[in-house]
Structure 1
Amino acid sequence: MPLLTLDSVSLAYGMQPLLDQASLVVEAGERVCLLGRNGEGKSTLLKIVSGEVVPDGGLVRLEDGAVLAVLPQNLPTEDARTAYEVVSGAFPETGGLLAEFHHLSQQADEASLDRLMKVQERLEALDGWRLDQKVTTILAQYGIDPERRLDTLSGGWQRRVLLARALVGEPDILLLDEPTNHLDVPAIAWLEEALGQFRGAMLFVSHDRAFIRRMATRIVELDRGHLVSFAATYDKYLELKEKALEEEERQNALFDKRLKQEEAWIRQGIKARRTRNMGRVRALKAMREEHRQRRVRGGTASFAVEDAARSGKLVVETRDAGFGYGQGADIIREMNLTVLRGDKIGLVGENGTGKTTLVRLLLGDLKPTEGAVRLGTNLQVAYFDQLRGELDLTRNALDNLSEGREFIEINGQNKHVLGYLQEFLFTPERARSPVRVFSGGERARLLLAKLFSKPANILVLDEPTNDLDVETLELLEEQLAEFKGTVIVISHDREFLDNVVTETVFLDGTGHVREYVGGYSDWRRQGGRFPSEAGGNRPDKQDKHTGTGQNGKSAKQAAKPVGQSTKSKPAKLSYKLKLELDELPGKIEALEQEIATLQSTIADADFYSGPPNEVSATLEELADREARLEQVIERWMELEEQASQ
């Protein structure tokens, strides 16, 4: 029996329905990714499943006794509860008593002891100690300090606490809406690992292509009110979707041609005053109605960056530059970095390591507290703010962009503001709506429209991929690749970095800045690692604002800091390490054979029609083997490099 069923669900807020007789079945153990353009209604669909929104019609049914949990999209801004209180809150009555007992047990006064006895009696009646053990166990499993307040944790650790709350009740199905937004790469990697161990069903919305590839066993697309299922991996889905769109265009063209012929026939019949075939007339009326009801797929966003006059060849140069607020360790120190016209630089680092501070230092918004920063000439900067601070939420999209203008000049051509917004998929009605009612994706598109309406030779993009649908994201990648000026990107989207940047600058959290050739994957191949991966500070002990541990230190990295020399030499291989190095090629070959066998199984045409549990298990096994192969290869490269010294 299906775990979750949506049968002919409908919901409309305006002229076009968000859901139009939409149906979906989710089986136990499936990990279903819900895709669709911004504004199609993906988040609304999740709210319907969770019961937060009631549809206009149709049926939403959970299997009897099934438990549903939700990982919320937005992180709490002000929540003084401890991690224990948040997670135990998954059990409404018992959780409150557990949190109270946890608090009272640390008090010593007589009144607290009296209340403690009453709470203890009630907990025993509710079997509360079993639930307390579950809360304690999952907090320990996720490495969470039970006493840490939620508002002192970084975004990644807040997400970890919320996931613990969602999973402590052992749900049968988990709903997630953009779970990777605002998370750094280590937090995303941890989330992928934790969700990979979850054996229940998942229904999630995401535009992070690397995350989708890792997690999804099936793709469901919300397109013009209908749900279309693709029993395939993400890459196979892209192929099938392209073919489906081509077939739809072909069928529409044939229909339109036939309609045109029938229209010509009816007009000719009227002109000749002949008796017409009434059955054919009724069929024509039906064709006209079908054409009128047709929901044409919305156009693809179309935009281009307006180039300004070229900047000087040198954009910025730093010499032993550093910056700090005088409160301990410097955020940036001893940085020697040269940015030239046309460079496309990706800034990578865990949250709180100073990426935004580095950008402000490079642009001259901040003065270095040590060393020097020299700016080039004729710099015209366009800045994409991850917090969307450039937008006035009380005004509509038209006013936000126009700033009193009716026409704007884009690459030498005058365009009406309304027409320009339509290139970013804003209808005239939507363009006149206040920004506060926009979805995250619509706000991101509006900010891009505003950004690209002004000439620039330096583009600075701070987390531009959050909330953007895949089609807009791919177009943005194309535009940035063709842009002749300089691009500086802060992003945790691994595929976006690989597709855009030619140089990666890594901030390790100790103030050191390291420079690598290529994108994110190239950085990883060159030995790039985050401090938390190398046994650095636990993020739950990390200060939310500085990103450094309580001792102000972080793990050492293998790469060389920009502009600094490394005097220490690697140690020679021990006998034990030499034996390990000799064994690694055999392990690599064996893993490659296993991966080839699994890939052959998955490529079979009938693979996805098999039992969902077996499909899921095979895909998980392939992901596990690929991850192990990557680890073994990296270890081999590390030992081989040491042996060659």
Structure 2
Amino acid sequence: MSLLNLIDVDYSVGGPLLLDGVNLAIEAGERIALIGRNGAGKSTLLRLIDGTLQPDDGEVRRADGARVARLEQEVPAGASGDVWDVVAGGLGELGAWLAEFHHLSHADVVDTDALARVQSRIEATDGWALDQRVTETLERLGLDGDAVFDRLSGGMKRRVLLARALVAGPDILLLDEPTNHLDIEAIDWLEGFLKAWPGALVFITHDRRFLRSLATRIVEIDRGQLTSWPGDWANYVRRREERLNAEAQEQARFDKLLAQEEVWIRQGIKARRTRDEGRVRRLEQMRVERGQRRELQGNVRMAMAQSDASGRKVIEAKGLGFAHGDQVLVQGLDLTIMRGDRIGLIGPNGSGKTTLLKLLLGELAPARGEVKQGSNLQVAYFDQYRATLREDWNALENVAEGRDRVEVGGGSKHVIGYLQDFLFTPERARAPITRLSGGERNRLLLAKLFAQPSNLLVMDEPTNDLDVETLELLEELLADYPGTLLLVSHDRDFIDNVVTSTLVMEGGGRVGEYVGGYGDWLRQRPVPVAAATATATATATAPAPAVTPVATAPVPAAPARRKLSYKDARELDALPARIEAMESRLSELTAAMSEPDFYQRDAASAAAHASELGEVQAALDEAYTRWGELEDSGG
């Protein structure tokens, strides 16, 4: 029996139905990727599934006792307090009591009367099992319950909110753009975690590698309709293209027939005397059908303003160093960027990627070393926080800046027409940008950016909130960009498809330079870096019950090496083989969980499988830690 069914559901926000008579069944254990153009109704569908919204017509039918939890796209405004409080909040009123008990029992001076009152409430609702569940969930996700939520990074906040969704023990977990604001290591960790999670999963993502890794089924929203495809991205792309071609041919045939019938109905008096009334009725029905047709939304058409070429040497850095307080972000960096280079910056959140960009652009003075910029540089900057958009201007004013026309693609274009290339209708172009969605704001920022002549393009997280079609067009545009590109992104496919070399923030101020994209870096990185990021690499192919992200704090001075004992030396020699065996077993366990019939097994078998997977992952983490200890000790 399905966990949840949508039956002939309609939903509208004005204009054509956002969802038009859709049907969807969610089965236990499956992982559904929900895709579609920006504004197609993906987030709306998640809200209908969790009951936040009610359909205009049709029914959302849940199995008895089926629980649903949703991780929202943005951090809720009201989320505050300790991490323990935020996570317990996923349990509703009981969670509030548990949080109160947690604070009272950890206070320096215990209020015994208040503690007794809240304890009696918890006992009356058999709440202690849920208290243990909060603790286990925090441990499982590697979270400190006493940490202050507001002081966490964006990525760690997302992890806390995931814990909040999981603590209710949902049968269906809904994730809206879960990789936004996560660095690559955290995305790898999340992939592994969700692969091991036994419940049903429905998620929205623009990260194609994340989608390919997780999805067992792809559900597309297109012009109000849902279409289900097997969870193979390449197969989906091919079959969707075939469907659209067939649809275009059928519509062309229909339009030709309609045109012929319109000619017939307008013939002279003699023809009207002998007119077939049945044919007239068919024509009237065809007119209605044509009027109700919903056209496929067009693609963004991107073109860049042209600029004179920069000098051959764009930027040169020598002995570059910078620290933020006690944290060394860049140390002793020598770097030469030549015209036409397309360079990606990779590293954990907080490791200094944006700081390095500002140092190279001269926006920040280095603590040590020097930066020289080449001649005739024209810089266009895409800011991940969209700070270059003025909130008191509409979309048209943000791009036009007092002009009527923009120079793009070697020609002049009216600003309204230019914005239509980025899917802004004239009405939408004049609307306040406070009403724009995240995807629309990103498209607007791209439109503003590409209207500026440039020969050095700097893009800091440009892929958030963009649909896949727009991402692919952006990749093509950047591949043909004649100038120099500096790109910060956590989208692994985007990096691989765009850049020719990468700079990697390796911690302790080290910045490694590698040929190629993310996948090339994985193959080239030296053993010390691999050990430092072992957690992320292991979880890219296998799930982890709890993983600590790569540290970005400065690496302390190495202690004096000592000679290893005979026992430790033998242990160090044996570790590579042990690690290889454990990684092989993890791959086998993960592959088994990806089989379609895995969740049709009995519950005990599935639980034993998941338990073994968690044990192997924990042992692997411990082995990597031990390897690092022995290496540091003199191995």
Q: Settle same-fold status: TM greater than 0.5.
A: yes
Query: Does 2:104 correspond to 1:104?
Result: yes
- CA distance, structure 2, for counterparts of residue 11 and residue 481 of structure 1: 40
Matched position secondary structure for 1:61: strand
Q: How does 1:81-92 map to 2 (within 5 A)?
A: 81-92=81-92
Per-residue displacement from partner, 1:536-572 (whole Å, max 9, x unpaired)? 9x99799xxxx744xx43799xxxxxxxxxxxxxxxx
Aligned to 1:241: 240
Query: 2:296 corresponds to which residue?
Result: 297
Residue 330 of structure 2: aligned partner: 332
Partner Cα distance (2:547, 2:152) in 1 = 8
Q: Verify the 8 A CA contact 2:535 2:549 in the aligned structure 1.
A: no
Question: Does structure 1 retain, via aligned residues, the 8 Å contact 2:301–2:421?
Answer: yes
Query: In the alignment, is the contact (CA less than 8 A) between 1:35 and 1:205 conserved in 2?
Result: yes
Structure 1 residue 253: Cα displacement? 1.2
Q: Which residue of 1 aligns with 2:452?
A: 454
The one-letter amino acid of 1:346's match is: G
- What amino acid sits opposite 1:182 in the alignment? H
The 8 Å contact of residues 499 and 516 in structure 2, kept in 1 or not, is answered as yes
CA contact (8 A) 2:305 2:407 kept: no
SS in 2 for 1:317: strand
What is the DSSP-based 3-state SS (H/G/I as helix, E as strand, rest coil) of the residue aligned with 2:328? coil
Q: Quote the Cα distance in structure 1 between the aligned partners of 2:314 and 2:272.
A: 77
Q: Are the structure 2 counterparts of residues 137 and 80 from structure 1 closer, same or farther at C-alpha, using a change threshold of 3 Å?
A: same
Q: CA deviation at 1:324?
A: 2.7
Which amino acid letter does the alignment assign opposite residue 553 of structure 1? V
- Distance in 2, Cα, partners of 1:555 & 1:147: 30
Evaluate the alpha carbon distance shift between residue 590 and residue 107 of structure 1 in structure 2; reply closer, same or farther with a 3 A threshold. closer
In 1, Cα distance between equivalents of 2:120 and 2:582: 57
1:429 is displaced (CA, Å) by 2.2
CA change 1:96–1:287 in 2 (3 A) is same
TM-score, normalised to structure 1, is 0.85
* Between 8-17 and 180-189, the greater mean CA deviation after superposition: 8-17
Contact 1:350–1:530 (8 Å) recurs in 2: no
Please point out which of 357, 362, 372 is paired with 2:355: 357
How many Å apart are 1:175 and its aligned residue? 0.8
Judged with a 3 Å threshold, the aligned counterparts in structure 2 of structure 1 residues 392 and 8 are, in CA distance, closer, same or farther, namely farther
Is 1:43 equivalent to 2:43 in the alignment? yes
In structure 2, the partner of 1:438 is: 436
Residues 489-510 of structure 1: CA deviation (Å, up to 9, x unaligned): 0000000000000101001232
Q: 1:531 to 1:367 in 2, by over 3 A?
A: farther
Per the alignment, residue 319 of structure 1 pairs with 318
The 1-side partners of 2:592 and 2:89 are apart by 42
Cα pair 2:189 2:547 within 8 Å, conserved: no
Gaps of 5+ in 2: 537-545, 559-567
What are the equivalent positions in structure 2 for 1:56-455 lying under 5 Å apart?
Answer: 56-76=56-76, 79-109=79-109, 112-268=111-267, 270=269, 272-325=271-324, 327-455=325-453
Q: Cα–Cα, structure 1 residues 407 and 357, in superposed 2: closer, same or farther, change >3 Å?
A: same
Distance 1:333-1:611 versus aligned 2 partners, 3 A rule:
closer
Q: In structure 2, what is the equivalent of residue 18 of structure 1? A: 18
The answer (yes or no) to whether the contact 1:354–1:509 under 8 Å persists in 2 is: no
Superposed CA deviations along residues 561-588 of structure 1, whole A, max 9, x for unmatched, are xxxxxxxxxxxx9777778879999999
CA distance in 1, matches of 2:233, 2:277: 49
- 1:559 counterpart residue number: none
Pick which of 580-589 and 74-83 moved more: 580-589
- Residues 218-254 of structure 1 show CA distances to partners (whole Å, capped at 9, x for unaligned) of 0010000111111332221111111111111111111
Q: Equivalent residue of 1:279, what SS?
A: helix
1:305 to partner: Cα distance? 2.1
For residue 199 of structure 1, what is the amino acid of its counterpart? P
Choose which of 542, 553, 564 in structure 1 pairs with 2:555. Answer: 553
Deviation of 1:55 after TM superposition, in Å, equals: 2.5
Secondary structure of 1:105's counterpart equals: helix
Q: C-alpha separation between the residues in 2 aligned to 1:13 and 1:586?
A: 55
Contact 1:76–1:151 under 8 Å retained in 2: no
- Aligned-partner SS, 2:310: coil
Q: CA deviation at 1:320?
A: 0.3
Deviation of 1:268 (Å): 3.0
Asked if structure 2 preserves the Cα contact closer than 8 Å seen for 1:97 and 1:119, the reply is: yes
8 Å CA contact retained: 1:70, 1:166: yes
**Corresponding residue for 2:539?**
none
Q: Share of identical aligned residues, percent?
A: 51
Call closer, same or farther: CA 1:334–1:509 in 2, change over 3 Å.
same
* Counterpart code for 1:301: V
Which segment is superposed worse, 463-472 or 234-243?
Answer: 234-243
**Residues in 1 aligned to 2:501 and 2:549: alpha-carbon distance in whole angstroms:** 31
Q: Does the Cα contact within 8 Å between 1:307 and 1:485 map onto a contact in 2? A: no
Alignment of 1:488-567 (within 5 A): 488-527=486-525, 529=529, 533-534=533-534, 548-549=552-553, 552-553=554-555
SS at match of 1:373: strand
What's the TM-score, normalizing by structure 2?
Answer: 0.86
Contact kept? 2:261, 2:283, Cα under 8 Å: yes
Q: Secondary structure at the match of 1:489?
A: strand
| Alpha-carbon distance in structure 2 between the residues aligned to 1:270 and 1:449 | 55
Q: Contact between 1:383 and 1:459, CA under 8 Å: does it hold in 2?
A: yes
Task: Tell me the amino acid that sits aligned with residue 204 of structure 2.
Answer: V
Q: Across the two proteins, how many residue pairs are aligned to each other? A: 601
- Once residues 225 and 548 of structure 2 are traced to their aligned partners in structure 1, the CA distance between those partners, rounded to angstroms, is 42
Three-state SS of the structure 2 residue aligned to 1:43 is helix
Which has the larger displacement, 226-235 or 341-350?
A: 226-235
The range that moved more, 215-224 or 403-412, is 403-412
2:497 is aligned with what amino acid?
N
2:383–2:461: 8 Å Cα contact kept in structure 1?
yes
Amino acid across the alignment from 1:440: G
Root-mean-square deviation over aligned CA pairs = 3.7
